Amino acid sequence: MKKTLAILAALVSLSVHANEKLTVGATPVPHAEILEFVKPTLAKEGVDLDIKVFTDFIQPNQQLALKNLDANYYQYRPFLDDYNKTRHTDLVPVVGVHIEPFGAYSTKIKNISELKDGATVSIPNDPVNTGRALVLLHEAGLIKLKDPSNTLATQRDIIENPKHLKIRELEGALLARSVSQVDLAFVFANYALEAGIDTNSALIVEKGKSLYIEFLVARPDNINDPGLQKLAKALNSDEVRQFILTRYKGQIAPGF
For the stretch 194-210, pLDDT in tens is 999 988 899 999 987 88
**How would residue 15 be classed by pLDDT, with cut points 50, 70 and 90?**
very low
**How would residue 18 be classed by pLDDT, with cut points 50, 70 and 90?**
low
Determine the average pLDDT of the residues in 41-49. Answer: 98
Length of the chain: 256
139/234 Cα distance (integer angstroms): 37
Q: Which residues does residue 24 pair with via DSSP β-bridges, in sequence order?
A: 51, 71
- 3 state SS for 160-172: ECCCCCEEEEECH
78/58 Cα distance (integer angstroms): 14
Neighbours of 108 (CB within 10 A): 14
Determine the average pLDDT of the residues in 110-128. Answer: 96
At 216, is the secondary structure helix, strand, or coil?
A: strand
Q: What pTM was computed for the model?
A: 0.85
How many percent of the chain have pLDDT more than 90? 86
Rounded to the nearest integer, the mean pLDDT of the chain is: 93
- The residues, ordered by sequence, that sit 6+ positions from 55 with a Cβ below 8 Å of its Cβ are 27, 28, 173
State residue 16's pLDDT score. Answer: 44
pLDDT tens string 139-180: 999 999 999 999 899 999 999 999 999 999 999 989 999 999
Taking a C-beta distance cutoff of 8 angstroms, is the pair 191, 175 a contact? yes
256/249 Cα distance (integer angstroms): 17
